[in-house]
Amino acid sequence: MNKSMIGWLAVTVLVAAGAGYAYVRQKPDAAAQASAAAAPATSGAAGSAGPPVSVTTVAVQKRDVEVMLEATGTVSALNSVDIRPQVAAVIQKVHIREGQFVTAGQLLFTLDARADEVNVAKAKAQLAKDQAALADAERQLARSKDLFAQNFISQSAVDTTQTLVDSQRAVVAASRAAIDAAQVGLSYSRLKAPSAGRAGAINVFAGSYVQPSSPPLVTITQLDPIAVSFTLPQRNLADALATMRGGGGKVMAVLPERGATLAGKLQFVDNVVDASSGTVRVKAEFANKEERLWPGAFVSVRLAIQTLKDASVIPQAVIIESPRGKVVYVVDAAMKASPRPVEVVHASGEHAAVTGVKPGERVVVEGRQNVRPGSTVVERSGGEGGAARGRPGGGGPAGSAPVAGTPSPGV
């Protein structure tokens, strides 16, 4: 084989190798381009055919909402009296039992009053003596006037007798006052209830020696009506005063052990703000016939200061905290969910009065974490809207729901 043949053969081999290399490089690029071209179509088809999200919804309610100030209060009696003796004596008899309800003026204790009884008797005897002396002086005055009429005595003699009568009348008046003073001392031996209420612990027994400096014999505490004292921030002072001028408004006391509530009225706003805490002391009065409030107990207090008329009310659980603020998912007639920004006007308990939604619109309660803007939703079986599944507007108020604050993706 000559050299020219060998050269042509080498050139042919090199050309074939280059073509094969180019073909291998070109095939994967074409496959990638075809895959990229098909990807959008496939993705779009999958998105449009995505399954609807199962949720429960609740209708926005329209009602009046009371704006409440909340505080912790202390139950206190409107009237509580410590019974103490005014004189030193021995307890003769105890007329009541511990825990007994007493009426105003009811006898509680009797003290040994023999010395006071003797003083009263002595004062009465002195009065009788002075009255007898007055009667004798009046007879002498009558005789003196007869003698003066017959010109047997002078006018000065009559005047002297008149002076004796006047002075004796003053003595009789003093004796009567002495009897009253002795009777006051005697009344100290009978301790009576100054007001109606419940008797506390009795600290003495018959035969106990007591004196004014001794501890109270018993405490009488009024339970019905009863008061609850609490404090409000200085910024709410104007609201409290306005409530007072309006007749006391409505104050709710929440009992911690049973969760029941009692309604009362605001009765007192203190005339000074505590400079150390920036609060003002207020007091509300409650009827307490069933004795559900007890002096010294702590209760939660809610004071109504304003009423929002025809407010849009939703459960707080439907509100989502997003980077752009508070939103809720509203479901339209086509069962499409869309985010709606809302502003909370007032929140209390499980519900909140908001702006941004209208009464009758339905908002997502459960399943909102799976909802995206524009998602198709379906009412969950057994949920609040189960009776009207697949269409908004069915169902009543929402029941329990997850705590608000779980953000949904895409909001």
Q: What is the pLDDT of residues 335-382, one digit of tens each?
A: 999 999 999 988 877 889 999 999 999 999 998 888 888 889 998 865
Read off the pLDDT of residues 265-275 as tens digits, 9 standing for 90 and up: 999 999 999 99
pLDDT of amino acid 6: 58
Residue of higher predicted confidence among 246 and 300: 300
Q: pLDDT-derived band of residue 393, with 50, 70 and 90 as boundaries?
A: very low
Beta bridge partners of 331: 337, 362
CA distance 66 to 263: 14
Q: Is the pLDDT of residue 411 over 70?
A: no
pLDDT of amino acid 329: 92
Q: pLDDT-derived band of residue 395, with 50, 70 and 90 as boundaries?
A: very low
CB proximity list for 85: less than 8 A, separation 6 or greater: 109, 111, 188, 191, 210, 211, 212, 214, 217
CA triplet 293, 298, 303: central angle to 5 degrees? Answer: 85
Read off the pLDDT of residues 311-343 as tens digits, 9 standing for 90 and up: 999 999 899 988 888 999 999 988 999 999 999
Read off the pLDDT of residues 118-156 as tens digits, 9 standing for 90 and up: 999 999 999 999 999 999 999 999 999 999 999 888 999
- 0.75 exceeded by the pTM? no
CA distance 34 to 202: 100
The overall average pLDDT reported for the chain is 82
Read off the pLDDT of residues 18-39 as tens digits, 9 standing for 90 and up: 555 554 454 444 443 333 333 3
184 vs 176, 225, 338, CA distance in Å? 13, 33, 85
CA distance 195 to 271: 28
* Mean pLDDT (whole number) for 372-394: 62
Residue 52: is the preceding peptide bond cis (ω within 30°)? no
Nearest to 367 by CA among 331, 342, 334, 340: 331
295 in Cβ contact with 77 (< 8 Å): yes
Q: Out of 132-141, 190-199, 224-233, 238-247, which region has the weakest mean confidence (pLDDT)?
A: 238-247
Can you give the three-state secondary structure of the chain, one letter per residue?
Answer: CCHHHHHHHHHHHHHHHHHHHHHHHHHHHHHHHHHHHHHHHHHHHHHHCCCCEEEEEEECEEEEEEEEEEEEEEEEECCEEEECCCCCEEEEEECCCCCCEECCCCEEEEECCHHHHHHHHHHHHHHHHHHHHHHHHHHHHHHHHHHHHCCCCCHHHHHHHHHHHHHHHHHHHHHHHHHHHHHHHHHCCEEECCCCEEECCCCCCCCCEECCCCCCCEEEECCCCEEEEEEEEHHHHHHHHHHHHCCCCCEEEECCCCCCEEEEEEEEEEEEEECCCCEEEEEEEECCCCCCCCCCCEEEEEEEEEEEEEEEEEEHHHCEEECCEEEEEEECCCCEEEEEECEEEEEECCEEEEECCCCCCEEEEECHHHCCCCCEEEECCCCCCHHHCCCCCCCCCCCCCCCCCCCCCCC
pLDDT-above-70 percentage for the chain: 80
Nearest to 190 by CA among 80, 82, 93: 93
* Mean pLDDT (whole number) for 31-49: 37
Side by side, the strands of the sheet bearing 209-210 are 190-192, 107-111, 89-94, 209-210
What is the set of domains in the chain, with CATH numbers? 53-63+311-388 (2.40.420.20), 69-78+223-308 (2.40.30.170), 83-111+191-221 (2.40.50.100), 113-188 (1.10.287.470)
pLDDT-above-90 percentage for the chain: 59
Read off the pLDDT of residues 157-212 as tens digits, 9 standing for 90 and up: 999 999 999 999 999 999 999 999 999 999 999 999 999 999 999 989 999 999 99
CA distance 410 to 367: 14
Nearest to 319 by CA among 356, 273, 284: 356
CA distance 49 to 67: 47
Kindly report the number of other CB atoms within 10 A of residue 29's CB atom.
9
Biggest CA-to-CA distance, the chain: 205
pLDDT of amino acid 383: 47
pLDDT of amino acid 323: 86
